[in-house]
């Protein structure tokens, strides 16, 4: 199953940022377990669907935390290859370059190296996930009205880490025998954002060919 992929072997225990845990015994934890169980069946299209009677916000929240953890781990395995020297700009191939802004601390987009950009990005996501007003972990605390737009921004930015890994660091991924792991994680991510229309097609352009290849077998 995917979850055992993520927890097996010492090499995958190196996360880039600390793992974000969903509190055991909580409803969100049950949802995460449900997600892992359906993923185990191997049908990703089914696995991403909203379980009957569940709250969409909560389902998106649980999966967003899970994708953060997956990308955290995947990027953690290749940080040695993603350096100021190897990646002086944050790019996804020659046509796509990203500049960082979070709208609060850094309002005007700044050009920075990929490791710096990804550090900013993952720290920013972490701060959102840790914000109880945005991602309430307590039962009965409602999600804010702007939750979906926050989640969309998080997922849009997490996509960029996948895009950078695929375009700039695929060789080490193959050397580390992480290719199947990366593809499965990304495919799950894409099915999820497609199911709920969470990322604009334009944003997905850097990996369009790969997305078509990974998803065409499962239509």
Count of C-beta atoms within a 10 Å radius of residue 60: 23
Show binding-site residues for Zn(2+): 82, 87, 164, 169
Q: Which residues contact residue 7 at a Cβ distance below 8 angstroms, ignoring those fewer than 6 apart?
A: none
| Binding-site residues | 82, 87, 164, 169
Closest listed residue to residue 32, CA positions, set 62, 77, 60: 62
For residue 63, give both structure tokens.
């999966």
Tally of residues, the chain: 219
Picking from 161, 128, 151, the residue whose alpha carbon sits closest to that of residue 199 is 151
- What is the distance between the alpha carbons of residues 90 and 122, in angstroms, rounded to a whole number? 14
């Amino acid at each position: 199953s995917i979850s055992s992929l993520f927890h097996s072997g010492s090499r995958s225990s190196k996360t880039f940022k600390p793992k974000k845990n969903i509190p055991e015994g909580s409803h969100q934890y049950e949802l995460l377990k449900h997600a892992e169980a359906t993923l185990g069946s191997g049908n990703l299209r089914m696995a991403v669907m909203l379980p009957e009677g569940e709250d969409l916000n909560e389902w998106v929240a649980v999966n967003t935390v899970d994708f953060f953890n997956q990308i955290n781990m995947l990027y953690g395995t290749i940080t040695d290859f993603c350096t100021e020297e190897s990646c002086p700009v944050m790019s996804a191939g020659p046509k796509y370059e990203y500049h960082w802004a979070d709208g609060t601390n850094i309002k005007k987009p700044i050009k920075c190296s990929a490791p710096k950009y990804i550090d900013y990005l993952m720290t920013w996501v972490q701060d959102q996930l840790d914000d109880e007003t945005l991602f309430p972990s307590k039962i009965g605390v409602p999600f804010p009205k702007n939750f979906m737009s926050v989640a969309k921004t998080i997922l849009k930015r997490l996509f960029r880490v996948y895009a950078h890994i695929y375009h700039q660091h695929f060789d080490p991924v193959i050397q580390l025998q992480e290719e199947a792991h990366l593809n499965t994680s990304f495919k799950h991510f894409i099915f999820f954002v497609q199911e709920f229309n969470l990322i604009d097609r334009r944003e997905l352009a850097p990996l369009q060919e790969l997305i078509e290849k990974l998803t065409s077998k499962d239509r």
